[in-house]
Structure 1
Amino acid sequence: MATVDGDLIPLERPRAERADAARNRRLLLETARRMIDEAGAENVTMDGLAEQAGVGKGTVYRRFRTRAGIFVALLDAEERGFQQRVLSGPPPLGPGGDPVDRLIAYGQGRITFLLENHAVARAAMGQNRPVPVAGPGLTRPHIRVLLEGAGVGADHLDALTLQLAAALEGPVLLYLTVPDPGEAEGERSLRALAEGWKVLVTRVCRT
């Protein structure tokens, strides 16, 4: 368990690994990221990853099981980095700031994270994973803690938490069509979503 301003937030920890398994995992993820940067996610294959990383094909298949599993692992690693910024980084995203400002910063940071990782998330979609969902579920409990801190009425707290969490996962639906966040159209989309979240939170918490 981890804490956010004194409230318990479930943060799943990676399973313990042997040293050689941990080295292989880091090597494979670093190699996969390099392959994505050089050739795009669509050109990353299980056999190609094994060749580029200099390991046996069996190592890759045991680690990830499927091609989509490579991208699920990449997305999970990025998710953990984002969570660490939420749990222990500087405010307003991290602890110590006004709850409303933190909620705005969290949503805007989450939207940015989702859009910046859209290529990996799209590749993580498999037959048994129609929508890419990464991470151990920080969003809903974190939003609830911040709504309570902002003094939002308890009668509506659970409903508002659910609705705000759903609004944050909305960008997942854009993975198939959203422009690259680094391009002009992508930047406009990102700014519009971030501003929309700010308006939503402000109206919920300060009306």
Structure 2
Amino acid sequence: MPEINNGLVEWLWIHGWAGWSILLGLMVIGILHSWFVKTEPASIVRGVLNFRKHRLESMLKETFTNPKVHGIVTQELNQKNLYKLTGLVDHRLQDAAIIFLSRFNLRARYLAPWRYWLTEKDGGIRFDKKWYRLARKLFVWVNLPFSTMFLIFLVYQFGHSFDQKYIAPFLLFNIVVWWFPWLMLSSVPKPSSTNELEMRLIIFNHEKDTQDLTSDVSKTAE
């Protein structure tokens, strides 16, 4: 153990600021791992986030509450569960999404990347392609280049202020801490994936309209 400690100290002494930056990054990763992966911290976080859910569940056990309130509470609990499952907020869209996902045997959160441009209408799912195209253009022509230019600017300024041998760890640190996570959070689905979604929606909505028409005709005949 003393040999390992001496080797670490020597390594830090040789690499200076870059070595300390790498060590600090590993410490941050270790802290995040302990909070978001290990059981007890994760349970604490889930408990705080699910406080409202627990409150709603307790309302269902109250015998003096109006039965109509129980129905609303059940609907909201169902909406929360379906949000975790599908990544969609609107309860009408959630119901249509469940049928859509089952129809094409897709994973539960398949529609989540397009959730900002999806709406429910008459049991079908409508896709607002105009606003999607605008968001895609903003991501490709504004968000991506400006984020990359800002990253390059930071590295350039850092290279003028410190030794150039520290540029690589500084670049890696910024990519891991903010550049890559930001692009992942603000990304817009690719046109190829979106075209597949549109084709499936066309089939799904057509089948839905056909079923509704057949149902109306049957009721009229009766």
Please state which band the TM-score falls in when normalised by the shorter chain: under 0.3
Q: Highest relative contact order (Cα 8 Å, sep 6+), 1 or 2? A: 1
Q: Which has the higher helix share?
A: 2
Higher CA-based Rg: 2
